Amino acid sequence: MCITMLAVIACKPKNPAEQPGGEGGESMFDYIPPIAINDKSVADWDKLDKSKVSEATCANLPYFPGLKKMKVYADSVCIFYMLEYDPQEMASHTDVDGMHIYINADNNTETGGFWDLFAPINKGDVDIMFEGALWDADGNEFSYTPTFSTWSGQTNGEGWLWAEKPVSNKVAGSQLVGDNIIEGRLVLELIPFTFDKVAFEIGVDIYQNFESVGLLPQGDRPDGDHIGRAKKLYVKFDK
């Protein structure tokens, strides 16, 4: 059985079983996405081998309380994620309310930067970052078509120093499930950065009017005031 989704988004798996004859002359590949992001359901997560799904939950006393749980699963074609958020912390739904995805894509702590939100302090290793709105300008439709940037600051440094790079708007996709779950994917082939073959680390924050309101992974506030910086979520590819 061939699924046309990835042909439509021009995605090429690492070992494609290409077949000619797709609509519009596009190739079709034997790839059945394990997670559908157009079905308004997260039931397909329960079908995955739990040992291959990485999960982070929020601290009891977080500085940014808006995100409650994150699940991430990656195969050779896509990174899939599911985020549970607190609707009360997501009060406004406009095109300046969105999401950042931070990835230590080469799984190397000696490259990248941005330790502003994650541990360890003084050794940021984020290589790539996605930034985009979660709602459209009317505030009523969900469409995550983020920009893509690579770290441009000092190696292992901090700050908001990113170099935006062109990327297909099909690199990402997502849906809202109910009023408290975001489910989405990133297509590896369309990300212009070479990932480690084995694993990567990932963190996410949700922002409202340019201010973070939810962050995962996140630990308790060390002194009741500052962010409890936690390590990003380690995800091993299921290849």
Nearest 5°: phi and psi at 185? -150, 155
Is the Cβ of residue 111 or residue 147 nearer to Ca ion in the bound state? 111
Is the Cβ of residue 90 or residue 126 nearer to Ca ion in the bound state? 126
Is the Cβ of residue 124 or residue 132 nearer to Ca ion in the bound state? 124
Can you tell me which of 62, 112, 203, 217 binds Ca ion, judged by CB under 5 A?
112
Binding mask 57-96 for Ca ion (x = CB under 5 A): ----------------------------------------
- Residues ≥6 apart with Cβ < 8 Å to 94: 133, 135, 137, 139, 209
User: Of the ranges 18-26, 64-72, 95-103, 111-119, which one interacts with Ca ion (CB under 5 A)?
Assistant: 111-119
Nearest to 193 by CA among 148, 132, 239, 145: 148
Q: Is 154 in the site for Ca ion (CB under 5 A)?
A: no
Neighbours of 56 (CB within 10 A): 22
Residues making up the chain, counted from first to last: 239
Q: Is 125 in the site for Ca ion (CB under 5 A)?
A: yes
Is the Cβ of residue 66 or residue 217 nearer to Ca ion in the bound state? 217
| Cα 221 to Cα 117, 203, 227, distances in angstroms | 12, 17, 5
Residue 5: in which H helix or E strand, if any?
helix 5-8
Cα 102 to Cα 181: distance, rounded to the nearest angstrom:
19
Is the Cβ of residue 112 or residue 228 nearer to Ca ion in the bound state? 112
Q: Is 201 in the site for Ca ion (CB under 5 A)?
A: no
Q: Is 127 in the site for Ca ion (CB under 5 A)?
A: yes
Q: Which residues bind Ca ion (CB under 5 A)?
A: 104, 106, 108, 111-112, 125, 127
